[in-house]
């Protein structure tokens, strides 16, 4: 159950980071309102706060978080940018999640 909770926290953290970076992109690259910077800043602040909720040492959290971030970014590509991920994209996600699992599960024995 703890592992599922940690994974869910990683997903929320990744979503906050991606949203916080995507909104300025919309302003800078697509000409949307500068007001998007306000929710972007709030989202990035939430991202930082969410990182503090993880029970492991910060460096291990950042390393393990990378696997979920890669997964969420690919899902964002598909859902928001309407670009269907390729087979190699999914292979990369699988490898990133495998690396995350090694970090998270291996740290339980330390």
- Over its C-alpha atoms, the chain yields an Rg (Å, rounded) of 15
Burial 86-102 (b: 16+ CB within 10 A, else e): eeebeeebeebbeebee
Q: What separation in angstroms does the CA of 90 have from each of 42, 68, 69, 83, 110?
A: 30, 13, 13, 13, 31
Q: Which domain holds residue 62?
A: 2-109
Per-residue pLDDT of the chain (110 residues; tens, 9 = 90+): 777 887 888 889 999 999 999 999 999 999 999 999 999 999 999 999 998 887 766 677 777 788 888 999 999 999 999 999 999 999 999 999 898 888 877 766 55
* Cα–Cα dist 64/103, whole Å: 6
Instruction: Please tell me the distance from the alpha carbon of residue 91 to that of residue 95, in angstroms, as a whole number.
Output: 6
**Domains identified in the chain, total number:** 1
Question: Which of 45, 61, 78, 56 is CA-nearest to residue 10?
Answer: 61
C-alpha 71/C-alpha 11 separation (Å) is 9
By the 8 A CB rule, do 14 and 68 touch? Answer: yes
């Amino acid at each position: 159950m703890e592992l599922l909770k940690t994974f869910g926290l990683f997903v929320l953290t990744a979503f906050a980071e991606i949203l916080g970076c995507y909104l300025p992109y919309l302003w800078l690259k697509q000409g949307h309102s500068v007001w998007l910077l306000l929710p972007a800043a709030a989202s990035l602040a939430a991202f930082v706060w969410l990182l503090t909720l993880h029970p492991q040492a910060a460096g291990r959290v950042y390393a393990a978080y990378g696997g979920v971030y890669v997964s969420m970014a690919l899902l964002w590509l598909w859902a928001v940018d309407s670009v269907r991920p390729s087979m190699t994209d999914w292979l990369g996600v699988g490898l990133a999640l495998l690396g995350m699992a090694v970090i998270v599960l291996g740290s339980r024995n330390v």
